[in-house]
Structure 1
Amino acid sequence: MTPADLSMTVLRAVRRAVDEDALRAPVPARVRVERTRPGGRGDYASAVALQLAGPAALPAREVAEILRVRVTGAPGIGRVEITGPGFLNFTLDASADAAAHRALVREVLKQGLRYGHGEALAGDLLQFSHAREVRAAVTAHAVRRLVRAQGALVRISCDDAPDPDWVRLGVTVDAQGRPPTPLTEIRPVPAGATAGELLGRLGPDATRWGLLRPAGHDRAPLGDELLVQGEGNPLFLVRYAHARARALTRGAALLGFTSTPDDTPSPEALALLALLADHPAELAAAARHRAPDRLARHLEALASAFLDFHDRVPTLPVGDEKPSAAHRSRLALAEAAGTVLAGGLSLLGISAPQHL
């Protein structure tokens, strides 16, 4: 069960409680679930009961109990508990979760680089405008990619004539001059350097990452740390994880086997699987909030989880060991992680090398 599946299950429980007149409150558009924090119970938690307590004129724990009895026993959910002032805590059913994890990996490999693309903004006609400044231009270009991946149509205008060096960063604009409203202005904190200067020092990939990784309201650090070949550099970390995943596929081919996600995932894989499951929601949120930095941070977390998984569990046979169902399943998960990293980097306009 993915976080989106769990959210829909809880939302259906709210609707059922309202329909049965057990709860008199407006049904929210969506229910937010989050991974349980250290020291908490279960796999996921939700504060929906606290959200509904006021409108329902009931104590939050009473609302939580109304929802608990309607969620308990749902497919994929093993146990539901109430903690604190009224938090719902969910422990997923292990066997159903294993099947869902296998299905998730298959879905990622089936969709490839388009995994996570959706229709959240389908039918939206968007107009973006930005200043003649490199960070604004690169950010607008990345946002265009994100919202297009969610089904929107987009037009971008620059206040003045575009800088010719933007082309080397992959940036294009559709019009010059400020268009009539309605429009969305892309105005991050300026980079303090021109595209030519940044390209000369950093090259296109490090320049784009340096401009996009910080939130738009923060200053963009654009020093030589972006070129460091070490895991302390988030850009290197993400690209290295992608290259490592691709190297595993090449290694498996030399050993004469391919991936098949049929085995039950090991406990070491769960954090990585959770991030893969979260990817569609992360892409949709980055598009809705016009925030490519959210995608960059998600890719960092995914890369770290993949490398941790890779370090803890051997994906390829060792010594005279023969390839097993576990090796094939781990290889499929590695390939899925590499695919999502490549797709995310592509949306940011950054290359994903096969070798580093």
Structure 2
Amino acid sequence: MPRPGAGVTGISLVGGVAGANIGCRSGIAADSVVAVTPADLATVISDGVHTAIQSGRISGEVPEEIRVERSRHRSHGDYSTNVAMRLAKSAGLPARTVAEVLAPLVAAADGVARAEVAGPGFLNITLEGAALGALAREIVLAGDAYGRTDRLGGLRLNLEFVSANPTGPVHIGGARWAVVGDVLARLLDAAGADVSREYYFNDAGVQIDRFVRSLLAAARGEPVPEDGYSGAYIEEIAAAVVRRRPGVLDLPEPEAAAVFRTEGTALMFAEIKSSLAAFGTRFDTYFNEKDLHDRGGLDAAVARLREGGHVFEADGAVWLRTTDFGDDKDRVLVKGDGSWTYFTADCAYYLDKRSRGFERVVIMLGADHAGYVGRMRAMAACFGDDPDTRLEILIGQLVNLVKDGKPVRMSKRAGTVLTLDDLVEAVGVDAARYALARASVDAMIDLDIDLLTRQSNDNPVYYVQYAHTRPCAVLRKAEQAGIGKGTLQDFDPSLLTHEREVDLLAALAAFPQVVAAAATLREPHRVAHYLEALAGTYHRFYDACRILPRDGETPDDRTRARLWLTEASRLVLGNGLRLLGVSAPERM
């Protein structure tokens, strides 16, 4: 089953990213062995550095993040840290000397068998036999909460994504944001942030005017306007408006246009919402641009910017001096004819988000909006905000759909624009979400229909989902045979010492740090890559370690210990898939 190179050897675990609180300590008997995770080791090392500095044995400061890595070879211990080499310069000592100071302090911690100095100053840490195995119990006790941290606790964040104009179906590029934004929101929540998912509904401006003219033309059987929208969906919506408002075509032009504007955009946006919901993407707020105009939000934003001394008038227009904050040119707020620019609405919308109490505004934009970054950062600065802490703009690259090695370009309903619905029809929700989530957003991707519909290990979503079904099958067979994992007192973690068991436990231990890093770095693809590595590690454990006894054999303590480990594996694989919004099937 496992693919070559799918293990987790060498994964970096930055303890400072996840913190020591991994949310799975409750319910453990006082006399039980306590599991030691990479996050716990990071805390132990940090405390050891603090003690060494306080005692005057070394000088310097405790690093904000302690890097703990899984050792590639068990002869080098279970984990390793380079903290001594990072402290050597400030301490004015050789790194090995610093490591020799820290080694006994780390070795004295509960669950640590020994800490040894190696090479130029690495500290290799070996856990006591039961300390790693005890993690299986903690994961089972934590259940769905395993992987959650408080790394971003207290941060109130507004996450805006998709925000496709209601002039057509969500295109395939928007589908990428529908997944990445949704998964990132789940990750931020798992990392402790208070995150609000928001969709900006642009129902004002020139594009809506073009949409309305296109609907009117379709309803009248006239050619599409030169700058209009085409596709079967335009004809469908136009016909739906006529059905809802019989006689609309008999109205004077301005009144008919008003009807098509109201009804057409409502129908289009209802379809967008339906497509996103079917794709597993939800929002807390749908924000209408028109509301900003109706309640004077743009006037208020310009007044605020004027108070800050950043507004000036030239050539009959009103400008914002964004060049003072690194923009390549100043931006028009009010045109010479008195009309607002799109940028003014962007200013008002940002100010509205900040007035709602969001400490950080995160906006996801497509590659064609990369030029917006400089002006948006300058705009935040004009409002008196530090753009490095208050505003974050993520740029995503394009997506192509490929079949038989060739790009798929035509949509059934939207002409040349491939849509979210086209993607789902081609590969299904799970495969589409997983494929879009597993790629870094700054890389262009080709989604291969043939690969994503294949039930083989080459298909990454199938590979991970199948890995989840294996522990489910083992647990079902155990239940049918009347074999249970027993109580907490029946679980002996010291029995989980096989090389493949240790590898699997180390991989499971990494999950909270992976989740926290993916949230902090805004890189959801880390979770997918982790799950693929974990799947391979579980398959190798499954192949090497018999879990259930053969016919005629009696279950023993090792059987029960491996059932705890099997249940822990099922939980982590399931928790990871749910973070991606992908189903975790029990049978395939």
Q: TM class by shorter-chain length?
A: over 0.9
Cα deviation code 1:93-112 (max 9, x no counterpart): 32xxx1x3443222211221
Q: Secondary structure at the match of 2:150?
A: coil
Instruction: Report the alpha carbon displacement of residue 345 of structure 1 after superposing the two structures with TM.
Output: 0.7
Q: Please give the alpha-carbon distance, in whole angstroms, between the structure 1 residues aligned to 2:75 and 2:547.
A: 31
1:230 aligns with 2:448: no
Q: Which residue of 2 aligns with 1:266?
A: 497
Please tell me whether Structure 1 or Structure 2 has the larger radius of gyration of its CA atoms. Answer: 2
AA aligned opposite 2:423: L
Distance 1:167 1:79, change over 3 A: same
Residue 80 of structure 1 and its aligned partner are, at CA, apart by 2.3
Identify the residue that residue 170 of structure 1 maps to in structure 2. Answer: 280
- The match for 1:183 is 361
Paired residue for 1:329? Answer: 561
C-alpha contact 1:120 1:151 (8 A) present in aligned 2: yes
Structure 2 counterpart of 1:69, one-letter code: P
Note the alpha carbon deviations across 1:110-144, whole angstroms, 9 max, x for none: 22122111222221111122343111121111111
Larger mean Cα displacement after TM superposition, 146-155 or 33-42: 33-42
Aligned to 1:348: 580
- How many residues of Structure 1 are paired with residues of Structure 2 in the alignment? 352
Structure 1 letter corresponding to 2:58: L
Partner of 1:276: 508
- The answer to whether the Cα contact below 8 Å between 2:115 and 2:125 also exists between their aligned partners in 1 is yes
Distance 1:331 1:285 in 2: 29
Match of 1:242 among 468, 473, 482: 468
Structure 1 segments, 4+ long, off by >4 Å, are: 159-162
Aligned equivalents of 1:277, 1:287: Cα separation in 2: 17
Deviation, 1:40, is 7.0
Is this contact kept in 1: 2:434–2:461, CA < 8 A?
Answer: yes
Structure 2 counterpart of 1:299: 531
Q: Is the 8 A contact 2:201 2:286 kept in 1?
A: no
- Whether the 8 Å contact between 1:230 and 1:236 is mirrored in structure 2 is yes
Aligned to 1:157: 198
Give the match for residue 128 of structure 2: 93
> CA separation in 1, counterparts of 2:552 and 2:540?
25
- Asked whether the equivalents of residues 134 and 190 of structure 1 are also in contact (C-alpha less than 8 Å), the reply is no
1:251 Cα deviation from its structure 2 partner: 0.3
Q: Please give the alpha-carbon distance, in whole angstroms, between the structure 2 residues aligned to 1:111 and 1:80.
A: 29
| Residue aligning to 2:62 | 27
Structure 1: unaligned runs, 5 residues or longer: none
Equivalent residue letter for 1:189:
Q
SS of residue in 2 equivalent to 1:91: strand
Deviation at 1:303, TM superposition (A): 1.3
Deviates more, 1:272-281 or 1:254-263: 254-263
2:116 counterpart letter in structure 1: E
Q: What is the CA–CA distance in structure 1 between the aligned matches of 2:281 and 2:188, rounded to whole Å?
A: 16
Greater mean alpha carbon deviation, residues 113-122 or residues 137-146: 113-122
Query: 1:198 is matched with which residue?
Result: 423
Output the CA distance in 2 between the equivalents of 1:340 and 1:206: 19
1:217 to 442, 448, 458: 442
User: Which of 59, 68, 71 is equivalent to 2:106?
Assistant: 71
Please give the TM-score of this superposition, normalised by the length of structure 1.
Answer: 0.92
Deviation at 1:146, TM superposition (A): 0.9
Q: What's the secondary structure of 1:183's corresponding residue?
A: strand
Deviates more, 1:11-20 or 1:65-74: 65-74
**Separation of aligned partners in 1, 2:193 and 2:150:** 8
Of stretches 15-24 and 213-222 in structure 1, the one that deviates more from structure 2 is 213-222
Deviations 1:139-186 (A, max 9, x none): 111111111122211123345566342221111232345530641223
1:270 positional shift: 0.6
Between stretches 16-25 and 219-228, larger displacement belongs to: 219-228
Per the alignment, in what secondary structure is the counterpart of residue 107 of structure 1?
A: helix
- Alignment-mate amino acid for residue 184 of structure 1: V
Q: Name the CA distance, whole Å, in 2 between partners of 1:84 and 1:318.
A: 46
Deviates further, 106-115 or 157-166: 157-166
Does structure 2 conserve the Cα–Cα contact (< 8 Å) formed by 1:118 and 1:150?
A: yes
Match of 1:121 among 152, 171, 176: 152
The 1-side partners of 2:74 and 2:194 are apart by: 44
Distance between the aligned counterparts of 1:141 and 1:154, measured in 2?
11
Counterpart Cα distance in 2 of 1:238 and 1:255: 27
Match of 2:86 in 1: 51
SS of 1:251's partner is helix
Could you tell me which amino acid in structure 1 is paired with residue 279 of structure 2?
L
SS at 1:49 equivalent? helix
CA–CA separation in structure 1 for the residues paired with 2:544 and 2:442: 38
Q: CA RMSD in A?
A: 2.0
Give distance in 1, aligned partners of 2:286 and 2:553.
60
Displacement of 1:205 = 0.4
Partner amino acid, structure 1, of 2:176? R
* TM-score, normalization by structure 2: 0.57
Give the counterpart of 1:145 among 183, 186, 196.
186
Specify the code of the residue in structure 2 equivalent to 1:334. Answer: T
The share of aligned pairs that are identical, in percent, is 37
**How far apart are the structure 1 equivalents of 2:41 and 2:549?**
36
Instruction: Supply the AA of the counterpart residue of 1:284.
Output: A
- 3-state SS of paired residue (1:353): coil
1:330: how far off?
A: 1.1
Measured against aligned partners, the alpha-carbon deviations of 1:265-285 in whole angstroms (never above 9, x if no partner) come to 131211111111121111111
SS in 2 for 1:12: helix
User: 3-state SS of the aligned residue for 2:446?
Assistant: coil
C-alpha distance in structure 2 between counterparts of 1:86 and 1:323, whole Å: 46
CA distance in 1, matches of 2:476, 2:105: 48
Contact 1:44/1:90 (CA < 8 Å) preserved in 2? yes
Q: Kindly indicate whether the alpha-carbon contact (under 8 Å) linking 2:471 and 2:566 is maintained by their aligned counterparts in 1.
A: yes
- The 8 Å contact of residues 133 and 505 in structure 2, kept in 1 or not, is answered as no
